[in-house]
Structure formats: structure tokens, C-alpha cells
Structure 1
Amino acid sequence: MATASWKKREEGWLLFTLGLIVLGMIYWLSPSSELRQTQWTIRGFPYEFRKPCDLIRPPDSERVAICLVGGARAFELTGPSIKHHLLGPYEGADVFVHAPIDGDAHKLSLLDGAPRLAAIRLFEPTRINQTRMATELLTARGSPHGIQGLLQYFRLVEGCLNMIEEYEALNSFQYKWVIRTRVDGYWNAPMPPVDSFDKAYYYVPYGSEFGGFNDRLGIGSRETSTVALARLSLLSKIHELGYRELHSESAFASQFEVRNVEVKKRTFPFCVLSARKYSWPPRKWGVPVLSIGSKGPLNGAKCRPCTPKLVGKRAEEVVNASERLSGWIGPTEDPKLCNAAGKWENGWENIFDKIAGEEAANARQKISSRTFSQCIQEIEEFRQKWKVWDAPSAEVLCQKGSLVDS
């Protein structure tokens, strides 16, 4: 009897062991990623499966902050491309916005639907004290609003860093990557993935350097981004070390020099919509203006919706003849050049809609036809999506936009 009982027990353990082996093979060989991520817990017999919730969260070690800065004057044109090509590839990233309160700020509601809206700060611009140090360090050359314009821009960018620091303190963590760019950027392809960058460097686009670094977009680790975004607070250190007569791009380059941060250049698929006028045809020291229909990486070059005046080989020759340390737009695949000597051409809306596609065309038409009541309702819904809303009421923003009910 004892022998038979022991034999039955051995058979039971053998079946039990074989069962574990079969389950293990199913677990490791399964094509289902969900099954491979399943954890096992023993609750007596039989075995049960349990999937932990934290496995579907992005790892904290790669937290990304994306900060959009600047006036929203063209956001009805750029907003959809930013959502699709910049925010879309970084679904786990937190979004920050730092922008002035003006007649265009209400357009930022086009960000509604973007994932993980962290903090938005809309502020009333005030004049910055223009000290002797600032006058010696900076030059008004190339700045449409002089030295005061540079200081305002530097405050705009550094405000992005301040927001990120406040949000980190509020939530007891720190970002590993920071992406900063402008709200007037039009994107024609997705942003490169974060794992294609090296934390040892700060990355900026090729071209549009003007004797420094292109400051229209930057991506780096939390450490290198702290240097890159400290545009106001580093001025005194830069002045102390003897730098003088810097414009935006050269001041940007000096920040990295004084903090010993190495910068790398990469191509990026965006351009900056601009209504500024530039001489035609572009000269060696001029600024080529691209059509938004140009292909390939546009590297933050100035652009507009236009009927191109130069395409193909001739356009490439003009672009490549630009001074490399000045207005050259960086390596591109198929530049199409606009005559930007005057205002945007009649019918630019149709040109934009055809190039940008249906989603962007609908956004443009929605904003251009939005009534005051619609604006209030949409911004109120938009406000609810943010973790931190540091901005006026919907009524104030819609009034600033001079919207009326039909």
C-alpha cells in the first residue's frame, strides 16, 4: 500500500513538472507580447496569471519634456503639424507651453487632444530692464526689435526651464530629456526618436547659424538642456568672460562654451513660418525662404506657403551658394524657393491647404471662422486637460482675439 501510494505521488509530481514545462514553453515562445509580459503568482493550485499595470508605463528613466515657446500668430497653420509630427512620436512625453498673452493665444486650443498636457503659462509681456551689461554684451544688429527683443526672447525660452523645474518639484521626479522648439514651426515629417540621441551632447539643427548655433530647436539631456535654456541667467557670466556684441545665435553658442557643453548638429524636418520680407533673389549673405512644400529636412529655415520661383537644380545651387555660417539652411533634399520680397501671395490659403492636407486645412478654417461663444467653450474644455493651467480665463483669451458672435 505504501509503495502504491508513493508511486502515485511520484506520478503526480511528474505531471506537475511536465505542466510547468509546457506553460513555460507557451510563455517564452508565444508571439503575444502581452503574454510574455505576464507575471505568475501562486494561489494554491492551479496557477493563475496576473499582468501588472506598471509594465505598460514608459520607464521613468527616459521621461521627456517637450516645451513649445513663442507667439501663436500662425498656430492655426503649424499646430496640426506639431501635434502629428512632434508630439505624436513622443506619446509618453509631457507637454509644456510658454507663450505671451496676445490676440493669437486663443489658437493654442488646437493642442486639445495631444497626450499628457502638463503645464501651460500664458503671461503678459513687460519691458525688461536694459542694463549697461546687456547693452555691452548684445547687439541690435539682425534683431527686428533690438536688444529689448533679444531679452524678451531669452526670457521666453528660460521661462520654459522654470516651468519644468516647478513641475518636477511638484511631482518629485526629474526629466531625462528636454525638447524645446517654437510654436511657429511647421513640421513635414516625424521628430527622430529619443534613443537616437546621445546624452553627452546638446543637439541643434544645421543651418541658420549666423555665426553661432541655430536656436530654433534643441534637444538634450536634463543637464545639457539646463545650460541651453538658461538664456537670461547666463548673460552675466558670458559678459564677465569678455564676450561682446552678441546676437541671438552667437549668444546661444557662448552659453555652451562657458559651461563646456559640446553641441552636435543634426537635420530636423521643420521650418519656421515667417511673414518677414527678404531680398530676391537670395544673395550669399541673404536668407533663402522655402516653400512649405519642400521635401526633406528643412532645419528650421524660414518658410511660407507659396508658388515656388525656383525648384530643382537651380534652387539647390542658390541654397548651396549661401554663406555656411550665415543664412545657409543646411542639407536638404528638394528645396523649393519662394520670392519673399513681398507679402504672402494672394491665394496662399489654397496653397497651404493643398500641401498640408485635410486635417490642417480644417484646423485653419476652424480658427478663422470661430465665433466668440465657440472660442469660450473650446478653451474651457481645453483648460480642463492641463495638469497646471497658469493663464487667464477663456473669456479673456477670446476677447484678446477680437472674436465676435455672428
Structure 2
Amino acid sequence: MCHEEIEHRKLAAGGRNAVEAGRTAICLVGAARRFELTGPSIVRNVLAQYPQADLFLSPMGIQGLLQYFNLVQGCMDLIKSHESRENFTYDWIVRTRVDGFWAGPLEPSSFIPNTYVIPEGSRHGGLNDSLGIGKRDISAMALSRLSTPDNLVAAGYSGLNSETAFLTQMKLGQVSTQEHSFQFCIMSDRRYSFPPSQYTTPVASLDIHGPLNGAKCRPCRDPYVGQEADEIWAKLDTNRGWVEWRNGALGLCNATSEWEKDWGEVFDVMVGPIAAAERKRVAAMSVEECVSDLGVFMGKTAQWKSPDPVHICQLGLAKRTIVQSISS
């Protein structure tokens, strides 16, 4: 039995305690879309599962693929800076998105030595890049996205999207990858044509009974389910590697319009009492309470590369007021 397999079996046997025996960095990247919903789920199902881990935050500024690569690589830069100051190196790095809603915990079985673990599905011809877990050296290779374009061009590649660039990057770096199932999805306010055409992005219903692995999602009343949903999924481009949908496993939302006016009630029914209670608490939150909560969140971070909590709360709660006035 090789050393890597022995270590993986120890991790599997020891579970969360075995992971916590090493140092773990958890980095959140991207825009805080629907953070009032995603934030509590990340705290509960990711951060609280590994309380000894250090948190890093790298928020989105401008849009675009290069900016996304900059965010991902910026995550590694923050970690390196902290390591240098504190004179140690992390054993594990988890990179996920701020706009990801977690319906279940991040399991210790996803920590595998010498392998970069990613979600199943949503491959778009390459590798799903909405989440990644790996040892520090492998993660450093996986998170070096900003230097990817030049390296790929030098190797003769062009015209790649984020997922195919990621796949090629990992192949060139000879990094082993493995797909796992994860109970999280990416909250989306974007509008998409429906029913989705062969190359259009589908939006899954948040009524989660299985792993969504980073698929786009939203709460919606009367989602398309069962055979009706299966017939729509079957028409989509299989090369994109969508999440498992067969036998009615995944419902679909008609995302041609904004979220429904009563989306909060729909969300509460779909996600269960804990997440529903968190949403209601945030919906009634004052700026002072928001700042206090963000202060606790900020206290968990090793580095906070983000606006001041007061500014975040004033901006976020102002937007909430506008949305509520429109919906009423």
C-alpha cells in the first residue's frame, strides 16, 4: 500500500479530527450575491465544520475571466503572505465561492492527499472550477490561474473557457484530479432563456434532495420536476457535463424573470427550518446587528481583503430595502 493511500485511509478513519490535525486555509472568492442566504450556509456547513481553519476572503471587483483568475490566484497570494508573517505553511487549502449556498456539510472524505478534489458535473468541456480542495503544493498549482493564459498560449492552446483552461492547466502541471459530490449550488440572479436550448445554462431548483455540485440555482415556485424536467435536461449539450438529473433527480426553474415576489417563503420551504430561520433573522436585521455579525465573521479571517463591514452592511441593507419596496 502506497504512502498516499495510507494517509487517505487515516483521514477517512479519523474524519474531521484527522483533517484538523494539520493546518487548513479556507478561501472564499467572488461576488457576495445573495450573501444573506449563502453566508449563513457557509458558516454552518463549511467554517463550523473545521473551526481551527483560517479564513481568507477575496471579493470580486470588476467582471471578466481574467479578473476571476486574478481572484483565484489572489487567494493564494493572501495565504502566502500570512504564511510568511506567521512562519508556517498550511497543509490543506479549500477554495470555494462566496455566492455558493451549502445545503450540507463539507465532508472530510473530500480531503485526499496528492489529489485535487473538485465537484462533479458542470464541466463545460473541462473541469468544474467552482470548488477545489487539496494539499498545499497541489492547491498552489491549481490556484495559479492568472498565469494560466500565457502558459497555455506558449503550449499552443487558445480559445479556451475557464473550465477547459483549468483542465489543460492541471494536465500540463501533471496534477491528479478527482470528482466528488458536494451539496452546494451557486445562487444566481441572472435571467436565462427557458426552456434552455442545447447550449443555454439551466437553473436548478433549490429544492435540494441530492448534490448540486456548484450548478446555478434559485428558489422557484412550481419548478419543473420528474419526467417533465428530465425531457428538458435530455436536450442539453452532454459535453458540458451537467449534474446528475436522470429519474427526476433535479428540478428546473424558469429563470426568464426576476426572483418571484414571495421567493422568501419558497426558499424557507425548500431549505428547511434552520436555513429558513437564518434568512428571516437577516431579513429583519438592523445595520448595527449586521456590523456585529460581520465583525464575528471578520474575526475568523486571517486576512480580510474586503470593504469595511459598515460599508458592506449599509450597501447590502439599502439594496434589501429597495427590493422589498418593489415586491410590496
TM-score by length of structure 2 reads: 0.82
1:316-338 deviation digits (Å, cap 9, x = unpaired): 34335432321622467721111
Shift of residue 226 of structure 1? 0.8
CA RMSD of aligned residues (A): 2.7
SS of equivalent to 1:220: strand
Provide the rounded CA distance (Å) in 1 between the counterparts of 2:19 and 2:251. 41
What does residue 337 of structure 1 align with? 252
Shift of residue 341 of structure 1? 2.0
Give 1:353's match in structure 2, choosing from 249, 268, 285: 268
Aligned length: 303
Q: Check whether the contact 1:78–1:185 (CA below 8 A) recurs between aligned residues.
A: yes
Give 2:157's match in structure 1, choosing from 231, 243, 263: 243
Q: Check whether the contact 2:204–2:251 (CA below 8 A) recurs between aligned residues.
A: yes
Shift of residue 377 of structure 1? 4.6
Q: Check whether the contact 2:207–2:270 (CA below 8 A) recurs between aligned residues.
A: yes
Shift of residue 185 of structure 1? 0.9
Q: Check whether the contact 2:116–2:176 (CA below 8 A) recurs between aligned residues.
A: yes
The answer for unaligned runs of 5 or more in structure 2 is 1-16, 322-328
Q: Check whether the contact 2:122–2:240 (CA below 8 A) recurs between aligned residues.
A: yes
Answering whether residue 185 of structure 2 is matched by residue 225 of structure 1, we say no
What does residue 290 of structure 1 align with? 204
Note closer, same or farther for the CA distance 1:203–1:380 as it changes in structure 2 (3 Å cut): closer
The answer for unaligned runs of 5 or more in structure 1 is 1-56, 101-124, 127-144
What does residue 254 of structure 1 align with? 168
Note closer, same or farther for the CA distance 1:185–1:376 as it changes in structure 2 (3 Å cut): closer
Which range is displaced more, 163-172 or 372-381?
A: 372-381
What does residue 32 of structure 2 align with? 72
Answering whether residue 92 of structure 2 is matched by residue 214 of structure 1, we say no
Q: Check whether the contact 1:319–1:329 (CA below 8 A) recurs between aligned residues.
A: no
1:134-178 deviation digits (Å, cap 9, x = unpaired): xxxxxxxxxxx5xxx111111111111111111222222222221
**Matching of residues 4-403 of structure 1 within 5 Å:** 62-100=22-60, 125=61, 149-194=64-109, 196-326=110-240, 328-330=242-244, 334-380=249-295, 382-384=297-299, 386-401=301-316, 403=318
Provide the rounded CA distance (Å) in 1 between the counterparts of 2:284 and 2:210. 32
Task: Give % identity.
Answer: 42
SS of equivalent to 2:140: helix
SS of equivalent to 1:224: helix
Q: Check whether the contact 2:193–2:200 (CA below 8 A) recurs between aligned residues.
A: yes
Moved over 3 A (4+): 57-61, 330-333, 365-404
Note closer, same or farther for the CA distance 1:160–1:386 as it changes in structure 2 (3 Å cut): closer
Note closer, same or farther for the CA distance 1:284–1:60 as it changes in structure 2 (3 Å cut): closer
Provide the rounded CA distance (Å) in 2 between the counterparts of 1:210 and 1:168. 34
1:355-390 deviation digits (Å, cap 9, x = unpaired): 223443343334344334444454455545545445
Shift of residue 75 of structure 1? 0.9
Which range is displaced more, 185-194 or 63-72?
A: 185-194
Q: Check whether the contact 1:294–1:334 (CA below 8 A) recurs between aligned residues.
A: no
Note closer, same or farther for the CA distance 1:311–1:247 as it changes in structure 2 (3 Å cut): same
Larger Rg: 1
Note closer, same or farther for the CA distance 1:168–1:355 as it changes in structure 2 (3 Å cut): same
Note closer, same or farther for the CA distance 1:219–1:380 as it changes in structure 2 (3 Å cut): closer
